[in-house]
Amino acid sequence: MAAKQAVLLFSLILALGFIPLLVFSAQAIPFERLESLRVVKKVNKNGPFLGLITVYAPEEEAFFKTGVFRPDPRHPFVDLSGRRFRIGKVEGKKVIYVKCGVGLVNAAAATQQMLDLFDIKGIIHFGISGNANGSMQIGDVTIPGQLAQTGLWDWLKPNATMEPNDFAQFDFKSYNDPKGGENHLGKVGYSTEQFYSVAGEVNVPQRPVWFNITNNWLHVASHLQGVKLDQCANSTLCLPEKPKLVVGLKGATSNFFIDNAAYTQFLFKTFGVTSLDMESSAVVMTCLSNGYPVIAIRGLSDLAGTQKGDNTIRLFGSLAALNTAKVVIGFVKSLPINHVSRF
């Protein structure tokens, strides 16, 4: 009897000891987040979903302007960490859409959050970008086959030796005007990322320069060449040629809005890139790191400084965003994924 009482007493002490821990754990997570996570759990019962990630308001407005997004009547959205994840359908496929915000950190954070919390089959990233390729024009849409992160720099002295992980060099003195003389800005070495992934050795980073779009998704995209793209931003502002979709080029991402002809020409000559943006490689790297299919779709809104006068993003940004949305819709429609309708 005494032994039984001792066991009961010990159990009571343990229970009382754990109660503060449970209270602390509940208090550590804000109530709003707990509610959001409950909704996420309900949403995932209707998965899996395609993830759609764009960047900022004009791209979001163009996407919803098409009218193809059909919100889930039961759970149309869930708010997490200040972002609104919208649940619905596009062309009969179940999707979760989010606007990530400008820059590499926002793009990676939103992508990782989507992959961690939702039942996702793969991610389609889209938005507008600058154009470094003279054979492309404003209004065209590019689906790159490869992306590089060109914003990880080693900023060196003028005569310094390149770092071992630097794969390209930008020498400021080459752009002195008039030519000749030293430039104390020195040079920049483009460094490779430390890339961790499920396909690599645990805790050992790879150092790739290029990150490849999921091959079978790129193959699906290659059959979208006939998608009809708009030529006019409004009744009085039109492009000289009808825009086109090109699949399989290269793109570059960095935390710079590039509006400088010399630098744009350097990027094209050195890396052979067409699209210049601030998010794509972060989304692609995050998906590949976790082992998920991914594709990036970018509409060319400006010439990244190679134009005469002001940047044209304010004139043609909305047109580029709308053409991008049209390609996204065409890709979702063509993607052979079985999404059974429940709403």
The pLDDT score that the predictor gives to residue 25 is 52
CA distances from 275 to 131, 163, 258, 304, 322 (A): 5, 27, 11, 9, 17
Residue 124's nearest CA partner among 341, 272, 334 is: 334
Of 51-60, 149-158, 175-184, the one with minimum mean pLDDT is 175-184
Beta bridge partners of residue 86, listed in sequence order: 77, 97
On the question of pLDDT at 239 being above 90, the answer is yes
For 83, the token pair is 């972002």
Tens of pLDDT, residue by residue over 195-206, are: 999 999 999 999
The three-class DSSP label of residue 189 is: strand
pLDDT band at 275 (very low <50, low <70, confident <90, very high): very high
On the question of pLDDT at 63 being above 70, the answer is yes
Kindly state the percentage of the chain with pLDDT values over 70: 90
Tens of pLDDT, residue by residue over 13-45, are: 445 455 454 444 555 677 788 989 999 999 999
The pLDDT score that the predictor gives to residue 145 is 98
Kindly state the average pLDDT of the residues 243-251: 97
Model pTM above 0.85: yes
- Alpha-carbon dihedral sign for residues 274, 275, 278, 282: negative
Kindly state the average pLDDT of the residues 252-281: 97
Question: Which residue would you say has higher pLDDT here, 28 or 87?
Answer: 87
In terms of residues, how long is the chain?
343
